[in-house]
Amino acid sequence: MNKVNIKLAIIVLTGILFSFQKVISQTWEVPDDKKQKVSSFKFDLETQKKGEAIFQRNCVSCHGTPGKANFVKLVPPPGDPATDKFQKQVDGALFYKMTTGRGAMPSFKDVLTEQERWQIISYFRSFNKGYIQPQVVAAVSGVFAGTDFKFKLDFFSEKHLIKVTAIGTKNNETELVSGLALSLFAKRYFGKLQIDEPKTTNASGEAFFEYKNKINGDSAGNVSFTIKVNAEGLDGITSDTTIKAGIPVIAKSLIDTRAMWTVRSKAPIWLILAYSLVVIAVWSILIYIILQIAKIRKLGSIK
């Protein structure tokens, strides 16, 4: 075999391997035990509407409008939820993919509660007239079943740490809860800022969250935090707590400075000048037209 044939064979083999790798990368295998997972509530019009609202906030930018095939052209493509490719998958598979994510598809485990993820699937199924929901199975929470949770936050500014202590009450007995998966979020103007990665409480019921950037608080430095439980069957549980853990900031009114969105008296100077010039120009043209019409009429009366 000469050198030309060897090079050609290498090129063909490389192309085959690349195509094979691309096909493999588009195959998303779901573990069998995950496929068996089903919703803990019945899908109805209410859950579909809630799912649609969540989909519009978190998914439409990539998946597009269901039934319109206007999803973003990525590799692998996100796909249209109304197509057979989506609808032939069991509920557990869709839930698993939404939870874990892959490639350009983010994981929504720490973004959406388990209930919200199932509500999105409920919305997906509204595009499948032949869909029959599997038997609902009530959510279980293992060792945490029947436990009422309370959380205490402590701030360590010198270490840039926030300690969350989980306290559980069950059968009238209160104790520190270990092995509980938690996420911590700081409330911002337009949503919630996640602090560090999700953590699991230690034997003392404590989870430590590290933050690298300073957090702005109110005028006294207070910041509102949301603690979210990630345990199976409990990831809809949240708790809000406010502690002094931020930089004191006196919030300025959005209409205090000159900006496009503010009141007329605070509009940008260039915008006021531009508007004034346009108004003057329009009125000048109108006056000119009126004078020309008057001149034409005067010339006509002379004849």
Q: How far is CA 215 from the centre of its chain?
A: 21
pLDDT at 232: 66
Residue 290: pLDDT band with limits 50, 70, 90: very high
Q: Residue 141 pLDDT > 80, yes or no?
A: no
**CA 123, CA 67: separation in Å to the nearest integer?**
12
Name the more confident of 262 and 36. Answer: 36
On whether the CB atoms of residues 182 and 229 are closer than 8 A, the answer is yes
- The predicted pLDDT at position 14 comes to 60
Q: Which residues have a Cβ under 8 Å from the Cβ of 225 and sit 6 or more positions away?
A: 153, 162, 184, 185, 186, 187, 195, 240, 241, 242, 243, 245
Which pLDDT belongs to residue 20?
A: 44
Is residue 12 over pLDDT 70? no
Count of all residues that appear for the chain in the document = 303
Per-residue pLDDT reduced to its tens digit, 158-207: 888 999 999 999 888 999 999 888 999 999 877 888 999 889 999 999 99
Cα distance between residue 221 and residue 249, in whole Å: 7
Model pLDDT for residues 230-261, shown as the tens digit of each residue: 876 676 688 899 998 888 887 777 667 777 77
Start-end of H helices in 232-303: 269-302
Structural contact between residues 236 and 247, judged by C-beta atoms closer than 8 angstroms: no
In order of 145, 150, 151, 176, 217, the CA distances from 168 in angstroms are: 11, 6, 9, 6, 29
Residue 189's closest CA among 252, 239, 127? 252
Tokens found for residue 262: 């503010």
Which range is least confidently modeled, 18-22, 78-82, 260-264?
18-22
Over residues 93-113, mean pLDDT: 88
Q: What is the mean pLDDT of residues 117-142?
A: 87
Q: What angle do CA 66, 78, 23 make, to 5 degrees?
A: 135
- Continuous segment of H or E residues that includes residue 126: none
pLDDT value for 24: 44
Q: Is the pLDDT of residue 139 over 80?
A: no
Q: What is the mean pLDDT of residues 2-9?
A: 57
Single-letter code of the amino acid located at 181: A
Residues near 63 by beta carbon (within 8 Å), at least 6 away in sequence: 55, 71, 72, 78, 79, 80, 81
Report pTM.
Answer: 0.52
Q: How far is CA 211 from the centre of its chain?
A: 21
Percent of the residues in the chain that have a pLDDT greater than 70, as a whole number: 86
Q: 43: pLDDT confidence band, cut at 50, 70 and 90? A: very high
Structure tokens at 58: 């978190």
